[in-house]
Structure 1
Amino acid sequence: MARCDWVNSDPLYINYHDHEWGVPEYDDQKLFELLLLEGAQAGLSWYTVLKKRDNYRRLFDHFDPKKIAAYDEEKVQSLLKDSGIIRNKLKVRAAITNAKRYFSIEEEYGNFSNYIWSFVDGKPIVNHWQAMNEVPVTTEISDRMSKSLKKKGFKFVGPTICYAFMQASGMVHDHLTTCICYKKDLV
């Protein structure tokens, strides 16, 4: 069975590719989780983050923005000592900053999903890439999302992170045309 070229043979990665990546997600907390995990991934492979995702969920209170926004220095130091996550102090502190900023978006747009999906008018952009070298790492939309998030005070939300987030959350459909998920996800 043909899959997108970036998938390795690990069942964890195959399952992620086949059942999560590119599937439209509208749940606020799950979108927030994806955004934080994409930020944690910056400079690393998604596979590295995926293997640590359960630890992130446990240590970051299942990505509850209210709980993360209340983290104090003691919690930060505890997180930085845990090898179950990527122990980068800038990324850990960015998660807390982003949780605090989350609520201003919720207040302005009604919920986080409304804001995020407004960049694509509420529906996925379907691409028809035949090879991985055709898939962009940024787009005009990911640039706009990045600028907007940064203006709202978010950290680790550059255009490349935003495009990866858009792919993961199903805002863009970037399964290759040769992938088993290409048509399945379009139904």
Structure 2
Amino acid sequence: MSQLDVDLLMQNSGIIRYRRKIEAVLHNASQMRALQETGGLNQLVWSLVDNQTIDHQIHRIDQVPTSSPVAIQLSNDLKLAGFKFLGPTTVYSFMQAAGVVNDHLVDCIVHDQIGGVNNK
């Protein structure tokens, strides 16, 4: 992507129009390529959780955390690798979406389809 693409994105009302964040996405894409050369994000993430999905055994929606010690560690590791604008909350959301964290309510039909270790 070029600076022209960034300028066009700055006009897109469907996204957060903060130039430094948009530029960080481009920067992080190049950092991801570099990370792939050293084992990749997959290896980094799963090594932090001993290759086990974390299952918080959530019973109520208000118990779902917005971060965790593992998310803080991963965020710090990614920052050390040169990534920008990746705080623990964003990283935790990624971990949920990637299936590293199972925060489905225990009575959700999907909960038991995801393996895990309790309360890590």
Change (3 A) 1:107 1:184: closer
Change (3 A) 1:184 1:112: closer
State the match for 2:35 in structure 1.
105
Indicate which of 135, 152, 164 corresponds to 2:93.
164
Greater shift after overlay, 153-162 or 119-128? 119-128
State the Cα deviation string for residues 10-51 of structure 1 (Å, max 9, x = none).
xxxxxxxxxxxxxxxxxxxxxxxxxxxxxxxxxxxxxxxxxx
Contact 1:105-1:115 within 8 A present in 2 as well: no
Q: State the one-letter code of the partner of 1:149.
A: L
State the match for 1:90 in structure 2.
20
Q: C-alpha distance in 2, partners of 1:117/1:90?
A: 29
TM-score (norm 1): 0.56
Question: Identity of counterpart residues, as a percentage?
Answer: 36
Number of residue-to-residue matches in the alignment: 115
State the match for 1:76 in structure 2.
6
State the secondary structure of the residue aligned to 2:32.
helix
Which runs of at least 4 in structure 1 moved beyond 4 Å after TM superposition? none
State the match for 2:108 in structure 1.
179
Q: C-alpha distance in 2, partners of 1:86/1:137?
A: 20
Q: CA RMSD in A?
A: 1.7
Q: Does 1:125 align with 2:54?
A: yes
State the Cα deviation string for residues 50-84 of structure 1 (Å, max 9, x = none).
xxxxxxxxxxxxxxxxxxxxx22111111212234
TM-score (norm 2): 0.84
State the match for 1:58 in structure 2.
none
CA shift, 1:150, in A, is: 0.9
State the match for 1:143 in structure 2.
72
Please list every run of 5 or more consecutive structure 2 residues that lacks an aligned counterpart in the other structure. 116-120
State the secondary structure of the residue aligned to 1:176.
coil
Q: State the one-letter code of the partner of 2:45.
A: I
State the Cα deviation string for residues 108-151 of structure 1 (Å, max 9, x = none).
11x33222322222231122111123222221111100110111
